[in-house]
Amino acid sequence: MQQLEKDHLPFEDCRPQCYDNAAVMSGHKSGVQPLKAGVHSAGHEVAMVTFLGTVQAVYVFFSRSTYRWERLKKNLHMSVKAESETRWSARADAVRPIHENVRDLVQLLEAIGSDLNETTDTSSEATQLLSRILTFDFFAAQSFWDILLTKIDRVQKRLQDPKMNFHEAAQDIEALQVYFLANREDIYQTSIKKAKELCHAWNVRIARRCRVKKKILGETGDAAGLSAENEMQHLLKGTIDRMHNEMGERYIRLHNLDSKFAFLLDIKELQSTTIEHTSKKGALL
């Protein structure tokens, strides 16, 4: 109040302005946060949580030692990033180098695990980390999330642009939603195919004892369990569907705003309308 008096600004003439764009982006159920279409999808399945945990473990293993970090950069010509639960750009940066260099990463961990010059703890950690990577689930997930995160990261960076408005944001989210729906089958099939190729390269067993699930009325004994491949297909398709639904909620809210206030974005039209209205008013006078 003292500052207003000093600046000769009457308090009764002051008006507040509130910009709640973050809440619009995330939807009314998620609170104020950046675009998180996919955050709940990533944390819904144990296999996905395990995969992202392994990605983080790779970063921790190499970042704790300057020697290991330099060895990583020398052998793989890359550096790994920390995984983040909230920043999709960080999550994309964490998954991408592992996906692109997974073969070299496996060879490096094998070398560290069998290196007699390494400490027992280092060799043990490398071996344990290697066992977490050499699985069908990890290979499928790393390919799957690289595809999704590349698309999501591009849209998120556009949404964070200060020049972005709700009209363009709605169009971007709709385009991303359409892409996932149109390419759903190809995304999960590509991920499964690449995972099987990597399993074959390192003699990783794909088939395992079926996970028995609770039977429902009318379900046969054969349908009560899922093979490793079928279970992963079911998981990947379910993740894409949940992500599609989450983005649908955000698109509807942005589309409603666009339908009500899009005319405010057309400055030239507003100016011409104002000039025309003023001219007509002057003519009448």
DSSP assignment string, 6-47 = HTT--GGG-------HHHHHH-TTT-S-S--TTHHHHTSSHH
pLDDT tens profile 135-175: 999 999 999 999 998 888 888 787 777 777 767 777 788 88
pLDDT tens profile 206-238: 866 455 555 555 555 444 456 888 889 888 998
Q: How confident is the model at residue 17 (pLDDT cuts 50, 70, 90)?
A: confident
pLDDT tens profile 87-137: 666 788 889 999 999 999 999 999 999 999 999 999 999 999 999 999 999
Among 67, 71, 73, 63, which residue's Cα sits nearest to residue 111? 71
**Bridge partners (DSSP) listed for residue 212:** 225
If one counts every other C-beta atom within 10 angstroms of the C-beta of residue 222, the result is 7
Q: What is the pTM of this model?
A: 0.70
**Residue 33: what pLDDT?**
43
Domain edges within the chain:
35-267
DSSP 222: G
**Bridge partners (DSSP) listed for residue 226:** 211
Residue 244 has pLDDT above 50, yes or no: yes
Q: What gap in Å lies between CA 160 and CA 36, rounded to an integer?
A: 13
pLDDT tens profile 42-72: 656 788 889 999 999 999 999 999 999 999 9
Considering Cα of 205, then 206, then 212, then 218, what sign does the dihedral take?
negative
**Residue 146: what pLDDT?**
93
**Residue 18: what pLDDT?**
65
Among 99, 68, 55, 104, which residue's Cα sits nearest to residue 202? 104
**Residue 279: what pLDDT?**
54
Q: What gap in Å lies between CA 180 and CA 88, rounded to an integer?
A: 17
**Residue 31: what pLDDT?**
38
Residue 269 has pLDDT above 70, yes or no: no
Q: Where are the beta strands (DSSP E) in 130-248?
A: 211-212, 225-226
**Residue 24: what pLDDT?**
44
**Residue 28: what pLDDT?**
41
Contacts of 199 (CB under 8 A, 6+ apart): 136, 139, 205, 206
- Do residues 92 and 83 touch, judged by C-beta distance below 8 A? no
